[in-house]
Structure 1
Amino acid sequence: MDIKFDLPDPSKRSLLAAVGVEARSPYTPLRIHACGQNVTLLMLVARVHCLSKIESYFLESPQELQSPLNLRNEAAAVSLLLSYLPGPGQEEGCEEVRQALRQHCEGLWPSFVHGDASMQADSVRYPADDSPAADFQRWAADVGIQSNIRIAKFGALRGCAAGRDIEPGENLLSIPAAALIYEDTVRKTDVGRMLSAIPDLAVDNLLILFTMIDRHDPDSAWARYWASLPAAFHTGLSFPPTLVHRLAGTAGALELTRAQGHLKRQYDATRPLLAMLLAAYPALLSPAWFEFGQYTWAAELWYSYAFEIEYGRLSEAGMLNFPAFRPCKEGEQVFISYGPVPNLKLLCYYGFVIADNPHDVVPLTLELPAEEDAALHARRTAVWERLGLATEHNLSAARLSPQLLAALRVAVATAEELAGMETGDDPGRAPLNPENEAQALRTLDVALAQLLDPLEACPLLAGSPRAANSLESRQGVAMAGAGGQDASGVDMEDATGAQDSAPGLGNEVHAAGSVGPGPTTAITPELDENGMDDGWVASSAACRQYVLGQQAILRCAQRECLARLRAAVAGV
């Protein structure tokens, strides 16, 4: 059989063309025969198909896709191929592909583990029969959810364990559409019909209002699901002002303030509607259900638990299937991928962060020079737009983006250099010349220092040693760079990133409860099954880890920037 890949994105077709795979039309699927000898080609195309925007942004060469790009992309590529294969034993060539993917996953999976002993089956503990979690599992079976996973505890935290040995491509979970809470199922309920009568009610508000009301209905079809949910989610949307203030000077403080303000304005705009509902149904509704805290709880539920279903994802039987991409032994912990999500989004909408998150980024905004004559500015803007360059960029711990470097080269280009770009020079492929490259990198170095300085003054890092690469110590970089020396006096190649020595979130919170640097009196907060506490100790630790991650990314960017600057200055 042939596997058909839909590739409507022209940039992805261009990437494939660069490695010798022609996907000629966005309307004609790329067809590749499923057999053992084509596994390498199938994986290449699947990697491109599953490439995220941020992964494309940092891609230096299409040749990188000939081998695994990162664990997320590789897992998504394997999952995609498995979803195309028929059941075991139906096609001989497909069995060769399936076996090759299985072997690939077995080699790939240890990279995910990182020595996490909590994955081992002998550490798993299952909920008591009279617990809300156990009742939720019984409800799931009652409504037709087919599950090969079980709610379980690994250490102090809740997760899921494989209910039996699972092969790649087998479904871990199959959910009938009728059991899902979404617009169609909500509008079929009594509460949904009541809310649907309200003119111009947005779908988002429909779902939030439905949640606020239906969770209190003992006769609801989802009553046992509601009962299994935590009393508080502890996401960034409900962080107290004191905690947000401790993030002062970071993009996190700005994003949390913006998101919380948006939620409050949305609630205030909804209050007349809530008052109308209470007046119309005083015997059915309670004012306590409609307080801002309840609105926030419902919004946090949808932001952190909801997912989008791609068109055509439901099977012919009307089931939403979640297949495994790797083999799982009974009792082993099973994970779901959140995708390439940076720590700021995780903190704001999920309440946790990941130490050494490979998808974490620091946002960086560029501005074209304002103090130049109008004609030169118009030429620079025209080149900028023709090349599709942006002012909004991202930094990662892995590398500087080719798009960022191209934008910097254009931003500092002289009239003569702009003339070359107008006639074909591509600043995205390579440096234009040593002088332009040095000026672009000096500009970036100053911008990095301006981002790093407030981070190192962040209240969450109070008491931490201040690095010698702060803005005050780096202001001479442009002049010192011309002489081939680093004005900071620090060998950036030997500088240690913050995350290398920082304890992980689990150690900070669950072992000692300490969220500050240095020796402290141990505080052991009472954690819920999600590792959160009402004293915001775990959340404070997550915020600190977020800041450390931002700091580490900026230091990595500085090291690369200065290494490139030395090379450029040497060529002047």
Structure 2
Amino acid sequence: MASRAKRPKVESAETPKNPEQKIEEALAQFLDWCRQSGLELSPKVYVSKEGTVADYGLVAKDEIEEGELLFSVPRSALLSQHTTTIRDLLKKEEAALESQSGWVPLLLSMMFEITSGESRWKPYLSLWPGFSTLHHPMFWSEEERNRLLLGTGVALAVEKDLLNIEEEYNSIVLPFMKSHPDTFDPRKHTLDLYKKLVAFIMAYSFQEPLEDEEDDDDDEKAPNPPMMVPMADILNHVANHNANLEFTPECLKMVSIRKISKGEEIFNTYGQLANWQLLHMYGFTEPYPSNTHEAMDIRMQMMYDAALQAVRTEAERKLLMEKWEFLTELEIVGEEGEFVIGQSGVLTEEELYSTLKVLSMTMEEFEEYKANDGWEEDEEEDDDLSSLANTVIPNLKPAWKQLLRNTVTMRLKSYSSGLKEEEATLANEETYRQLSKRERDSLQVRYAQKMILHRLLQLTA
């Protein structure tokens, strides 16, 4: 978040304010705005940059019991497409603003409010002057991403993001702004600002969960649009969090979910996210092994490539192709599909189990299996072993373990460095301390993923 505030338009003869003073003033103005907006903050907590893992955070002033209300935010204080000053315009042009991301209305709301001197959210938005402290890899150079994040999946995700952002801005946002010159100015509401706001919303927005109601309609409901929740977005994230955000018709409430000691930082959760996802979407990581949601992906196509390496004859190659096509038709594998491996085992168990089974079949077994459309008369053995937890993997059939091992070995080759290099850097405190934040975050992502892969190597030995 903010490390310095905007420079005043006019400098007086008074002593210039240092960055710390500006931060304190911005925070004081925000807290005053919160009170005026009906946001109620418990006397047991306070906002601070001291004693927090990163930037602003919420800290316990006194001991807090489980179930205590830490603060509540009235829905009138939320910043969304439904509360912004230009909400009527956005509603009127709703059809023209539809996009794959679904974020365009909020992004336009933010673009208008952030550049409006009269915005009622100005004290809130002033906490992030210029969005200069966004650490997302989308703001790194392409060379940095490729050098530090090769093999992690982050660089590819960022490339897709950047292409989608530019496409969305040029095809939807820019034409909309040009058709409403009294409200928007492309010279001020630029692609660069739009990109920063995408990262800001990615890192700080909230989406209200859909109501769990039975619906006879087979169509899936569209997710609720994102919204900005002042105060809630100040809380930092850890996997082992101590507070949760609750949604009610009148307000949003942050509630403690366990006892919190005096001086302890209060953490929300952004979801069950691996380090590569945290870095991609939020610009930070949790040092290994504190992230209990750590996981990594292996492209499904990589298992086919690993199986292909073991092929010795044209007949074997043709049979492998038929097996893969069959798995594709059953929608077990796909061109963009991925197997997800967590710390305690495979998270996409059904997909990986079925793929290992089919690719390891003899021709006769596959023909019988295919004739039954993927069903087997006696599934007792499959039911017993269909779990792919770490405790089960050593007991898999030798052919299955070998295929999995070959795939893992191939996946490890996608990185530019080895596990021993990462371990040496982490073990040397002086070396680690000299790394930049980008280098440290990238190292944490690579190391956590490689630890999962090397554990699989041990389990399939």
TM over 0.5: yes
Cα distance in 1, alignment partners of residues 262 and 158 from structure 2: 40
> CA distance change for structure 1 residues 219 and 351 in 2, over 3 Å: closer, same or farther?
same
Q: Which residue of 2 aligns with 1:300?
A: 199
Please report how far the alpha carbon of residue 417 of structure 1 lies from its aligned counterpart in structure 2 after TM superposition.
4.4
Match of 1:141 in 2: 35
2:190 to 268, 291, 294: 291
> How has the CA–CA distance of structure 1 residues 545 and 379 changed in structure 2, closer, same or farther, with 3 Å as cutoff?
closer
Aligned partner (choices 150, 163, 179) of residue 46 of structure 2: 150
Asked if 1:392 corresponds to 2:347, the answer is: no
The 3 A distance-change label for structure 1 pair 504 and 201 is farther
Question: Are residues 399 and 272 of structure 1, via their aligned partners in 2, closer, same or farther at CA, if it must alter by over 3 Å?
Answer: same
1:156 Cα deviation after fit: 7.6
TM-aligned CA distance change 1:399 to 1:436, over 3 Å:
closer
Q: Letter of the 1:309 partner, please give it.
A: E
Equivalent of 1:440, from 400, 420, 445? 400
Query: Which of residues 250, 253, 274 in structure 1 aligns to 2:155?
Result: 253
Counterparts of 1:449 and 1:274 in 2: how far apart (Å)?
50
Q: Which residue of 2 aligns with 1:346?
A: 278
2:111 aligned counterpart, secondary structure: helix
Residue-by-residue CA offset, 1:190-216 (whole Å, 9 max, x unaligned): x22234333521352111011111112
Q: Is the 8 A contact 1:183 1:207 kept in 2?
A: yes
SS in structure 2 opposite 1:371? Answer: helix
Quote the residue 1:264 is aligned against: 166
What residue identity is the alignment partner of 2:397? Answer: E
* Residue equivalent to 1:228: 127
Assess if the C-alpha contact under 8 Å between 1:355 and 1:499 holds in 2.
no
Q: Quick check: 1:355–1:504 contact (8 Å CA) kept in 2? A: no
Q: Give the structure 1 partner of residue 378 of structure 2.
A: 424
1:322 matched to 2:277: no
Task: State how far apart, in whole Å, the 1-side matches of 2:62 and 2:299 are.
Answer: 49
Spell out the pairing of 1:345-384 with structure 2 (5 A cutoff). Answer: 345-356=277-288, 357-366=291-300, 371-372=317-318, 377=323, 381=327
Q: Structure 1 pair 256/381, CA: closer, same or farther in 2 (3 Å)?
A: closer
Partner of 1:175: 73
CA distance in 2, matches of 1:169, 1:127: 35
1:449 to 409, 412, 418: 409
Secondary structure of the residue aligned to 1:273 is helix
CA distance in 1, matches of 2:31, 2:103: 27
C-alpha distance in structure 2 between counterparts of 1:549 and 1:145, whole Å: 39
CA deviation map 1:21-44 (0-9, x unaligned): xxxxxxxxxxxxxxxxxxxxxxxx
Distance of 2:318 and 2:377 partners within structure 1: 22
Letter in 2 for 1:299: V
Equivalent position amino acid for 2:47 in 1 = I
Structure 2 CA distance for aligned equivalents of residues 205 and 271 of structure 1? 11
Looking at structure 1, the residues matched to 66 and 395 of structure 2 have their Cα atoms a distance apart, in angstroms, of: 53
Distance 1:371 1:262, change over 3 A: same
Corresponding residue for residue 9 of structure 2:
none
Sort the Cα spacing of 1:344 and 1:376 in 2 relative to 1 into closer, same or farther, 3 A: closer
> Which residue matches 1:238?
139
Q: Deviations over 1:494-518 (max 9, x none)?
A: xx7x77665399x689x83x23xxx
Quick one: structure 1 residues 381 and 296, their matched pair in 2 at CA, closer, same or farther if it must change by over 3 Å?
closer
The answer to whether the 8 Å contact 1:128/1:134 transfers is no
- The residue that corresponds to 1:184 in the other structure is 82
The one-letter code matched in structure 2 to 1:503 is L
User: Do 2:75 and 2:251's aligned partners in 1 also have CA atoms closer than 8 Å?
Assistant: yes
Shift in alpha-carbon separation, 1:135–1:163, aligned structure 2, 3 A: farther
Q: Distance in 1 between matches of 2:324 and 2:286?
A: 43
Provide structure 2 residue ranges, at least 5 long, that are not aligned to the other structure.
Answer: 1-19, 212-245, 308-315, 370-374, 387-391
Looking at secondary structure, tell me which structure has more helix per residue.
Answer: 1
Question: Residues 211, 226 of structure 1: CA spacing in aligned structure 2 closer, same or farther, 3 A cutoff?
Answer: same
Cα distance in 2 for partners of 1:427, 1:337 equals 36
Partner residue in 2 for 1:84: none
Secondary structure in 2 matching 1:243: helix
Per the alignment, residue 96 of structure 2 pairs with 200
Find out whether 1:557 has 2:460 as its counterpart: no
* Identity in percent: 19
In the alignment, is the contact (CA less than 8 A) between 1:397 and 1:554 conserved in 2?
A: no
Instruction: Name the CA distance, whole Å, in 1 between partners of 2:40 and 2:427.
Output: 36
Which amino acid letter does the alignment assign opposite residue 224 of structure 1? P
* Partner Cα separation in structure 2 for residue 322 and residue 254 of structure 1: 35
